[in-house]
Amino acid sequence: MTQMTRIERRTGTAFELKRGQRLIVCDPMGEQVSDLVAFGLHDRDEVISNGRTFDYQDTIYLTTGHRLYSNRSNIMLHIEQDDVGRHDFLLTPCSKDTFRILYNDDDPHRGCFGNLAAALDDYDIGADRIPCAFNIFMNVPVDGDTGRFSVQPPLSKAGDTITFRAEMDLIIGMTACSAPTSNNGTMTPIDYRID
């Protein structure tokens, strides 16, 4: 078995994932979130879409068996296995602006958004192209009556994993989340491997 690669705390990375390959994401210490975005390897204008995924999966909570779709209605990733069962696809990667607006930070961290922008720059993908992320392990329960939601500690325990199979050739961006609210203040690393 391939060894895990570590995404250090409050950082991000980007890499290629070819059709048929599996991406296994592990929360090594528990209660951490990883923001995942995906782009077509051969055409970067094709990008993961929360709305198209909701259109075709009829639920805002995605887990084992669900497919994540692109803006062009193609399946990008298939969730094959999921220890946790709760992830978020509503919210965007934390950024200088979210830290400024939501946390009143004077000198904000660049956040998952800045980390993704830096990593994706190697693939000529600009910051404005970063979509709503599939926020692995992020726990955002929604009140169906009022529509209001809150960001709660992830349900992931140390060693929990989720496995995606790529349905097309992709560029993946991933982070170890930088926003304290998302991970109960832990801001620990995230591990992954490609099989």
CB atoms under 10 Å from CB of 35, counted, come to 31
Interacting residues of 153 by C-beta distance below 8 A, sequence separation 6+? 31, 139, 183, 184
Site residues for a copy of itself, window 107-126 (CB under 8 A)?
126
Q: Cβ closer to a copy of itself: 15 or 54?
A: 54
Question: Across-strand partners of 26?
Answer: 161, 191
Instruction: Please report the sign of the dihedral spanned by the C-alpha atoms of residue 162, residue 124, residue 180, residue 143.
Output: negative
Quote the longest CA-to-CA distance of the chain: 46
Q: Looking only at residues 129 through 168 of this chain, which bind a copy of itself when binding is defined by CB under 8 A? A: 130-132, 141-150
* Nearer to a copy of itself among residue 99 and residue 189 (C-beta): 99
Label residue 73 exposed, middle or buried (CB < 10 Å: 0-12, 13-18, 19+). exposed
Kindly tell me which of 71 and 184 has the beta carbon lying closer to a copy of itself: 71
Measured in degrees and rounded to the nearest 5, phi and psi for residue 4 equal: -75, 145
**Binding track, positions 84-103, relative to a copy of itself; x by CB under 8 A:** ------xxx--x-xx--xx-
Nearer to a copy of itself, 89 or 192 (CB): 89
CA–CA dist 37, 76 (Å, integer): 10
Shortest distance (Å) from residue 91 CB to a copy of itself: 5
* Closest C-alpha among 78, 105, 97 to residue 170: 78
DSSP bridge partners of 145:
none
Quick one: CA dihedral 79, 81, 85, 88, positive or negative?
negative
Smallest gap from residue 161 Cβ to a copy of itself (A): 21
Residues 28-47, mask of contacts with a copy of itself (x by CB under 8 A): -----------------xxx
Q: Least distance from C-beta 5 to a copy of itself, angstroms?
A: 27
Which residue, 3 or 146, is less far from a copy of itself as judged by CB?
146
Applying CB under 8 A, among 5, 56, 65, 105 the residue interacting with a copy of itself is: 56
Nearer to a copy of itself, 24 or 79 (CB): 79
Contact set with a copy of itself (CB under 8 A): 45-47, 49-52, 54-56, 58-61, 71-73, 90-92, 95, 97-98, 101-102, 126, 128, 130-132, 141-150
